Amino acid sequence: MKPRMEFWKIAPNAYKAMLGLDAYLHGSGLDAKLLELVKLRASQINGCAYCIDMHWKEARAAGESEQRLYGLDAWREAPYYDERERAALEWAEALTRITDGHVPDAVFEAVRPHFSERELVDLTWAVAAINAWNRVAIAMRSVAGSYRVRSHAGG
């Protein structure tokens, strides 16, 4: 597959705005491994090979185990995700699969005990951001495999 265009060069201000949102989320206080799990799961649902590659690598660099990454698409049946992670993954799936209908109240109520209001808003922004990145990467045919992990020093 050949990339269609270098979108970051064509619309650098839009790209910088998205990077700004990512920087905010990185400093939001949400656990880096949790964010990577959510991003990876949404990318799996959307079929974005570039983002699956990226967030798999980022999750491993953040200390995530291969077992949990391999089992991510079956997280409901796997015993190695805690209740907070399960809530975040359920929230991410509901927001990503928005064409199935609006996020059900039952999902919102199931997530609320595990996150503060601020954390839930930040988690929602994280899911919205990865869905946007997935769509751009898919549309522009970003090539999977070329991503290199950023430094994880201090976080």
- Considering the entire predicted model, what is its pTM? 0.92
Q: What is the mean pLDDT of residues 43-51?
A: 97
Condensed to tens digits (0 to 9), the pLDDT of residues 63-122 reads 999 999 999 999 999 999 999 999 999 999 999 999 878 999 999 999 999 999 999 999
Condensed to tens digits (0 to 9), the pLDDT of residues 26-43 reads 999 999 999 999 999 999
**H runs (alpha helix) in 47-116:** 49-61, 66-70, 83-96, 105-111
What CATH number belongs to 13-139? 1.20.1290.10
pLDDT at 14 over 90: yes
pLDDT at 155 over 80: no
What does the domain layout of the chain look like in residue ranges? 13-139
In our burial notation (b when 16+ CB lie closer than 10 A, e otherwise), range 17-52 reads: ebeeebeebeebebebbbbbbbbbbbbbebebbbbb
